Amino acid sequence: MGSELIYRGHDTQPASDSYSPKPVKPWVSVSRPIRYMLREQRLLFVLVGIGIATLIFTVFPSSRAPHVPHHHFATSIADSITYFPRETQNKFSYPHRVGFGSANPTGKIPLGLKRKGLRIVVTGGAGFVGSHLVDRLIDRGDKVIVVDNFFTGRKENVLHHFGNPNFELIRHDVVEPLLLEVDQIYHLACPASPVHYKFNPVKTIKTNVVGTLNMLGLAKRVGARFLLTSTSEVYGDPLQHPQKETYWGNVNPIGVRSCYDEGKRTAETLTMDYHRGAGVEVRIARIFNTYGPRMCIDDGRVVSNFVAQALRKEPLTVYGDGKQTRSFQYVFDLVEGLMRLMEGEHVGPFNLGNPGEFTMLELAEVVQETIDPNAKIEFRPNTEDDPHKRKPDISRAKELLGWEPKVSLRKGLPLMVSDFRQRIFGDHKEGSNTNNASSS
């Protein structure tokens, strides 16, 4: 028989190509870091660090400050350090919170140390009063955010602060919500002259009501102190003379001026409701007639009307018989009052105005003396709901704020005339007079 070879390859099992990892050794996750630390001598450095820290805390135990409750903090400070008196501390103290600019919760400021600035928002900060307030706050060292929709405000009023790291400008209407982190809110946003607030009365009352709601909501959310600039118009055509803060007023709720008058009255109501119901720190100022540089030239208010007309050689228009009275305060006096109210401990409302009372004819005569003795006076029919008398009783502000106006009409009016002359005729560079006046 011939030999034959039998191939039995089909009977053998092919080798498997699948990969089987080696079994994980126990404690490998622990042994590897230990071997690494021993090899690189990391353990030695760790032990040396622990030893040094233990030595420091053992030898110098006094370096650890003991935990002291907040209300006992003032008594634990060494007596060798001299502090401001308590009434000065209270101006900058916010014991209920630690917010922006409040790194020292007790409000104690050692002598020789500069006060840390606050973050402050000023709505309507590009307007007449708002821009002067911004000047004072910036000079004091605060960080100021101006919010303005430029309906009556002007960029030129704050142009000199552009480039200052402590100044920000936001074009925004306060009837829309705004998210910021601030310590204080000065709410000035609203057209204040009859010409402007009568232009769109619905918008005026929305600005007063919805805008105030938005700013109060911001104050509640971030724990800021809120100051509302109300107006003497809440007294309407008053039956009490002079007007005290306790007087409730005599206002026509459906008249052509009620969008402003009743809007401010509602804003005061909302402010007090947020104070009582939500614990918001609030302040209320009732501002009487104010004049000075940066007023709108043709805004319909009597001082700006008379000054602009006299400079343009036009007749001074007196409405009615000219016997209705007003009181006029210079803008610097008002700004001082607003800041004292904000930094004080009293809610208000406070009358902020000059009790010096002038009839419209007497004001026209003062303008004649200041600008043009030959200026003529022209009488026109009086406007609807024009108050016959307006004079503030400021005894409360004197007693509780230590505030009263310093600048008389005959001293302040020439500064306003200089600013108006520059803006009407362009005698000097833009803003030169107003900036010099604000820094005086």
User: Average pLDDT of the chain?
Assistant: 81
Q: Is-contact 136 340, C-beta < 8 A? A: no
Distance (Å, whole) CA 189 – CA 16: 84
Per-residue burial over 20-50, b = 16 or more CB atoms within 10 Å of its CB, e = otherwise: eeeeeeeeeeeeeeeeeeeeeeeeeeeeeee
Whether residue 10 has pLDDT greater than 70: no
Query: Length of the chain in residues, anyone?
Result: 440
The answer on pLDDT for 33 being more than 70 is no
- Please tell me the distance from the alpha carbon of residue 212 to that of residue 280, in angstroms, as a whole number: 13
Mean pLDDT of 402-415: 93
Decide if 350 contacts 285 (C-beta within 8 A).
yes
Q: Mean of the pLDDT values across residues 350-362?
A: 92
Q: In this predicted model, which residue has the larger pLDDT, 436 or 328? A: 328
User: Of 161, 286, 302, 303, whose CA–CA distance to 231 is shortest?
Assistant: 286
Point out the least confidently predicted range of 21-25, 56-60, 346-350.
Answer: 21-25
The pLDDT tens digits of the residues spanning 78-132 come to 333 333 344 444 444 444 443 444 434 334 545 555 667 899 999 999 999 999 9
In single-letter form, the type of residue at position 91 comes to K
pLDDT beyond 60 at 308: yes
Please state the rounded mean pLDDT for residues 363-381.
Answer: 90
Which pTM value belongs to this model? 0.71
Domain boundaries, the chain: 119-439
Q: Note the pLDDT tens digit of each residue in 229-245.
A: 999 999 988 888 899 99
Res. 225: pLDDT tops 80:
yes
What's the average model confidence in pLDDT over 39-65?
Answer: 71
Banded pLDDT at 40 (limits 50, 70, 90): low
Say which residue the tokens 């390859």 belong to: 9
- What pLDDT score does 93 carry? 42
What's the Cα-to-Cα distance from 282 to each of 186, 269, 279, 343, rounded to whole Å? 10, 12, 9, 11
Say what the alpha-carbon torsion angle 371, 373, 375, 379 is, to the nearest 10 degrees. 110
Whether the predicted pLDDT of 2 surpasses 50? no
Give residue 307's pLDDT band: very low, low, confident or very high (50, 70, 90).
very high
Which residue did the predictor score with more confidence, 197 or 419?
A: 419
As a whole number, mean pLDDT of residues 338-352 equals 95
Rounded average pLDDT over 197-202: 87
The bridge status of strand 325-327 relative to strand 357-359 is antiparallel
Retrieve residue 6's tokens: 């039998």
> Which pLDDT does position 231 carry in this prediction?
93
| pLDDT confidence tier of residue 47, bands split at 50, 70 and 90 | confident
pLDDT of residue 20: 56
What is the CATH class of 119-439?
A: alpha beta
Higher pLDDT residue, 11 or 274?
A: 274
Where is average pLDDT lowest: 71-85, 330-344, 374-388, 408-422? 71-85
Please confirm, yes or no, whether 260 is among the known catalytic residues.
Answer: yes
Confidence check: pLDDT of 13 > 60 = no
pLDDT at 9 over 50: no
What digits encode the pLDDT tens for the residues 156-195?
Answer: 999 999 999 999 999 999 999 999 999 999 999 998 877 8
**Model confidence band, residue 18 (pLDDT cutoffs 50, 70, 90):** low
Which is more confident, 6 or 417?
Answer: 417
Structure confidence at residue 388 (pLDDT):
82
Would you say 363 and 410 are in contact if contact means Cβ atoms under 8 Å apart? no
User: Lowest-pLDDT range, 2-16, 55-69, 290-304?
Assistant: 2-16
At 48, the pLDDT band (50, 70, 90 cuts) reads confident
Residue 144's H or E segment, with its range, is: strand 143-148
Which of 197, 260, 274, 291 is labelled catalytic?
Answer: 260
Percent of the chain with pLDDT over 70: 74
**In this predicted model, what pLDDT tens digit does every residue of 244-269 receive, in sequence order?**
999 998 998 998 988 999 999 999 99
